[in-house]
Amino acid sequence: MAAQSKIIVFCGKGGVGKTTLSLSMALRRAQSGKRVVVVSSHPLSELAVAVSLTGMADMFPKAASNLFVVHLEPRELLADVVRNNFPANSVADRVLNSHMYRNLIEVMSGLKEFQFL
pLDDT tens, residue by residue, 7-43:
888 877 778 888 888 888 998 999 999 999 888 877 6
Residue 51 pLDDT > 70, yes or no?
no
C-alpha distances in angstroms, 29 versus 21, 26, 33, 63, 68? 12, 5, 7, 8, 12
Helices (H), 4-88: 18-31, 44-50, 56-59, 61-66, 74-85
Q: For the chain, which residues make up each domain, given as ranges?
A: 18-71, 74-116
pLDDT of residue 90: 93
At residue 97, does pLDDT exceed 60?
A: yes
Q: Which residue has the higher pLDDT, 79 or 2?
A: 79
